[in-house]
């Protein structure tokens, strides 16, 4: 949903990622091999480019593929790549190379569970209208709705965990002519953060908890529960880049 070039917030986010890359660096004897994806920090003084580094790996029979080239983000702070190793046990030989400064295994990171949650099964007892919803009053969204501004003709895209295309406030359906009008699955149904993505054209999931939640804040239709989104007439798009449930989120979903 960003419409501006990378600014200070983007640079801060990149810096945080680089901090994570360097913080988790371990020696070859410490590396767990329960996955086949690793962040490799390369010494730029000892290899001319990522291509040269990869050619050297192939020459010593460390078969691999590059998930993400990270050499251009901030070379003065981190120079390296995210790699898949065909044989995870090759990580020890990789970590001992003179041109490798550190190797970080990609590991699961589980979010904090909600303190409590409540599923609405009927409208609020006071008969609250959508524009009487307190957050929309506080953010003055209700004033826009009073002026007839509901997001008609606007497209809003999300990068998230997928979306429930059958949810009554968002669907049913996916594609041109539907509320969820566009999108793509960038990772596939079986992606867990350590295996290779298998993209397909359908971002719809049975739940897509976080993606559905966020899309609802922006564009949910009023279906009688005292709530509608900020722009209920907007067309939504979902680009799925997370596993189906947030309990399976990985660091690698960011890079």
Q: Which domains does the chain have, with CATH numbers?
A: 15-105 (3.30.70), 130-254 (3.40.50.200)
Q: Which position has the token pair 């409208």?
A: 123
The token pair at 231 is 């722009």
Calculate the alpha carbon distances from 30 to 95, 103, 139 in Å: 10, 10, 50
Q: Lowest-pLDDT range, 70-79, 117-126, 128-137?
A: 117-126
DSSP 8-state class, residue 163? B
Q: Are strands 155-160 and 180-185 parallel, antiparallel or unpaired?
A: unpaired
For residues 31 and 107, what is the distance between their CA atoms, to the nearest angstrom? 11
Task: Please name which of 136, 155, 162 lies closest in space to residue 244, comparing C-alpha atoms.
Answer: 162
What is the mean pLDDT of the segment spanning 108-119?
69
What SS3 class is residue 129? coil
Range with the poorest average pLDDT among 30-44, 67-81, 187-201: 30-44
Mean pLDDT, rounded, for 49-68: 96
Which residue, among 250, 221, 241, has the nearest Cα to 150 in the 3D structure?
A: 221
Examine the pLDDT at 250 and tell me if it is beyond 80: no
Cα–Cα distance measured from residue 34 to residue 115, given in angstroms and rounded to the nearest whole number: 31
Is the pLDDT at 246 greater than 70? The verdict is no
Q: Residues 237, 170: contact at Cβ < 8 Å? A: no
Q: How far apart are CA 10 and CA 160, in angstroms?
A: 18
- How many Cα atoms sit within 13 Å of 30 on the Cβ side? 8
Rg (CA), the chain: 22
pLDDT tier for residue 46 given thresholds of 50, 70 and 90? very high
Neighbour count for residue 168 (Cβ, 10 Å): 12
CA-CA distances (angstroms) from residue 194 to 40, 50, 171? 15, 21, 32
Strands across the sheet with 80-85, in order? 64-69, 80-85, 37-42, 100-105
Of 101, 85, 94, nearest to 42 by C-alpha is 101
Q: What is the pLDDT of residue 244?
A: 63
Residue-level pLDDT at 114: 67
Mean pLDDT of the residues in the chain = 81
Residues 216, 156: Cα–Cα separation, whole Å: 12
Q: So what's the pLDDT on residue 115?
A: 67
Quick one: tokens of 196?
A: 């290779």
Q: Are 75 and 44 in contact (CB under 8 A)?
A: yes
């Amino acid at each position: 949903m960003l419409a501006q070039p990378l600014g200070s917030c983007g640079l801060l986010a990149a810096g945080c990622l680089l901090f994570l890359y360097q913080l988790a660096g371990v020696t070859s004897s410490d590396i767990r091999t329960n996955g086949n994806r690793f962040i490799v920090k390369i010494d730029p003084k000892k290899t001319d480019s990522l291509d040269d580094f990869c050619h050297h790996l192939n020459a010593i029979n460390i078969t691999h593929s590059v998930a993400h080239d990270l050499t251009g983000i901030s070379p003065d702070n981190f120079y390296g790549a995210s790699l898949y190793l065909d044989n995870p046990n090759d990580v020890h030989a990789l970590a001992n190379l003179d041109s490798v400064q550190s190797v970080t295994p990609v590991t699961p990171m589980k979010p904090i569970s909600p303190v409590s949650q409540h599923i609405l099964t009927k409208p609020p007892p006071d008969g609250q209208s959508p524009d009487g919803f307190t957050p929309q009053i506080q953010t003055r969204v209700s004033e826009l709705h009073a002026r007839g501004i509901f997001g008609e003709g606007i497209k809003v895209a999300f990068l998230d965990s997928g979306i429930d295309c059958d949810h009554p406030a968002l669907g049913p359906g996916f594609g041109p002519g539907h509320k969820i009008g566009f999108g793509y699955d960038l990772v596939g149904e079986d992606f867990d953060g350590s295996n290779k993505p298998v993209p397909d054209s359908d971002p719809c999931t049975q739940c897509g908890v976080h993606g559905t939640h966020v899309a609802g804040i922006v564009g949910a239709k009023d279906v009688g529960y005292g709530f509608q989104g900020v722009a209920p007439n907007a067309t939504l798009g979902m680009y799925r880049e997370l596993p189906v449930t947030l309990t399976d989120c990985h660091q690698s979903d960011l890079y």
